[in-house]
């Protein structure tokens, strides 16, 4: 495609975009178990209105837009309140979980370098279930992630992680929950190890940070995972997942301001004066900050408790349906992620049969299975999902769908 000579009129642009979208997955009807978090039309409207109100404003420009500084501060304060930060806790909004994790790792690296506790080949010890963002960050930061096999319940094996610690280790990682099986690592045990070895503990609550606190209040058997545990150094929690904010919004949080101080980058050796940022990016979408603030204030604790209760109910009825089909749920997921399978099922072929029925199927590779991250679009879709799963299993058994060797892709 070439840039048009004269430009195209706005109505035509709208039509073309609507057409372009036509081939995408029908996510509003619950056909995809990843990428989307939805808590109702009202929440979406609140987010959109706030985003548009700050569409052009730039979070980099604190001198021009003090209101964005204040909105961000309030988002961080509300989030620290949920995650039991003390009065010394602080943090920033970022553009997503990957940036939050990158920044926590950069801070841990720079703290280690500044104290001389480790000098080169800085190591991060993570369970095998940790998100690829840790390796992505390590690749850029000159660090190395050592992935340690998990236990039979798919949670971090703390003894094996302890055995992997070396003098170069600067950070331990635990997830609350991890993306593959949706299970929460034993953060208290990891924190004790981190205290003993005097290393950083990052809790990746990207997908859990805005659902686990409410599930805990609802009595869903959620273990402690946040700053209530001494030894948790930093937490990542994504507003654009179960915070139901517009995309481009996450938080990175620190138990103590002196660790947060390693996050910033300052530079003045050019012609345009001192340049300082707290986060990785420069220009920041004001809309994403305003939308997160708006949705958090719109929902409040009771709104999040309500959506959490509904998501947990969807997961429970899904698990019940899976058991009736003879499928096995992996581990003991307690939040909005479920993965399942079973040795006697031809998972790749079942996944293919499901895709032929219009589902975008999430997959997991260890063990082979299917994967879903639930939101409120699934409330109306889950019975159809289970029906189609039953049919797909029968079709594969009868040999009426071609077998597939499709591999799992995020
Ligand atoms: C989504 C996710 C991330 C990465 O977040 P992005 O917003 O996609 O960059 C990291 N960790 C976990 C557990 C996640 O679910």
Substitution candidate for ligand 1 out of 34, 37, 94, 98 with most atoms within 8 A of CB: 98
Q: How much is the mean pLDDT over the chain?
A: 96
95 C-beta closer than 6 A to ligand 1: no
Rounded to an integer, what distance in angstroms lies between the CA atom of residue 380 and that of residue 387?
13
- Cα 391 to ligand 1 centre (Å): 32
Take atom 4 of ligand 1 and give the residue whose Cα is closest.
97
Pull the structure tokens for residue 84. Answer: 């039991």
Residue 88 has a pLDDT of: 97
Please spell the DSSP secondary structure of 177-218, one letter per residue: S-TTT-PPP-HHHHHHHHHHHT-EEEEE-TTTTTTHHHHHHT
pTM of structure: 0.97
- 336-369 burial: b if 16+ Cβ within 10 Å, else e: bbbbbbbeebbbbbbbbbbeebebebbbbeeebb
184 C-beta closer than 6 A to ligand 1: no
99-113 mean pLDDT: 97
Query: Is the bond leading into 367 cis (omega within 30 degrees of zero)?
Result: yes
User: First-to-last CA distance in the chain?
Assistant: 29
Q: How confident is the model at residue 117 (pLDDT cuts 50, 70, 90)?
A: confident
57 C-beta closer than 6 A to ligand 1: no
- Single out the residue of 209, 303, 300, 305 nearest to residue 249, CA to CA: 209
| Residue 50: pLDDT over 80 | yes
| Residue 405: pLDDT over 80 | no
Rounded to an integer, what distance in angstroms lies between the CA atom of residue 340 and that of residue 373?
12
**210-240, pLDDT tens digit by residue?**
999 999 999 999 999 999 999 999 999 999 9
Q: How confident is the model at residue 404 (pLDDT cuts 50, 70, 90)?
A: confident
Q: How many H-runs (helices) and E-runs (strands) does the chain carry?
A: 12, 13
Residue 400 has a pLDDT of: 83
300-304 mean pLDDT: 98
- Single out the residue of 253, 94, 252, 235 nearest to residue 173, CA to CA: 235
| Residue 118: pLDDT over 80 | no
Instruction: Tell me what percent of the residues of the chain surpass a pLDDT of 70.
Output: 100
Choose between 378 and 119: higher pLDDT: 378
Rounded to an integer, what distance in angstroms lies between the CA atom of residue 120 and that of residue 114?
12
């Amino acid at each position: 495609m070439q840039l048009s000579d004269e430009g195209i009129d706005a109505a035509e642009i709208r039509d073309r975009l609507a057409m372009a979208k036509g081939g995408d997955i029908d996510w509003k009807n619950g056909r995809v178990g990843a990428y989307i978090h939805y808590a109702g039309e009202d929440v979406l409207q609140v987010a959109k209105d706030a985003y548009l109100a700050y569409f052009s404003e730039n979070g980099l420009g604190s001198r021009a837009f003090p209101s964005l500084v204040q909105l961000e501060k309030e988002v961080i304060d509300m989030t620290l309140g949920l995650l039991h930060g003390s009065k010394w806790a602080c943090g920033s909004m970022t553009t997503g979980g990957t940036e939050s994790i990158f920044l926590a790792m950069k801070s841990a690296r720079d703290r280690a370098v500044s104290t001389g506790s480790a000098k080169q080949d800085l190591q991060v010890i993570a369970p095998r279930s940790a998100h690829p963002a840790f390796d992505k960050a390590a690749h850029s930061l000159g660090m190395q992630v050592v992935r340690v096999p998990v236990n039979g319940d798919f949670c971090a094996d703390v003894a094996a992680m302890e055995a992997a610690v070396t003098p170069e280790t600067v950070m331990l990682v635990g997830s609350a929950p991890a993306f593959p099986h949706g299970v929460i690592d034993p953060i208290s045990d990891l924190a004790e190890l981190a205290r003993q070895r005097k290393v950083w503990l990052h809790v990746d609550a990207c997908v859990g940070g805005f659902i686990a606190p409410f599930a805990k209040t609802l009595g869903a058997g959620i273990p402690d995972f946040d700053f209530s545990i001494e030894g948790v150094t930093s937490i990542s929690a994504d507003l654009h997942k179960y915070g139901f904010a517009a995309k481009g919004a996450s938080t990175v949080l620190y138990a103590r301001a002196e660790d947060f101080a390693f996050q910033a980058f300052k530079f003045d050796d050019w012609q345009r004066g001192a340049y300082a940022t707290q986060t990785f990016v420069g220009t920041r979408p004001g809309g994403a900050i305003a939308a997160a603030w708006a949705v958090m204030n719109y929902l409040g604790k009771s709104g999040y408790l309500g959506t959490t209760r509904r998501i947990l109910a969807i997961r429970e009825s899904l698990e019940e349906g899976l058991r009736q089909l003879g499928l096995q749920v992996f581990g003991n997921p307690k939040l909005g992620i479920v993965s399942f399978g079973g040795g006697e099922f031809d998972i790749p072929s079942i996944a293919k049969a499901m895709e032929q029925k219009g589902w975008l199927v999430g997959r997991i590779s260890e063990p082979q299975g299917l994967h879903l991250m639930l939101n409120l679009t699934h409330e109306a879709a889950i019975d159809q999902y289970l029906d189609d799963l039953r049919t797909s299993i029968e079709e594969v058994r009868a040999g009426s769908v071609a077998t597939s060797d499709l591999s799992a892709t995020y």
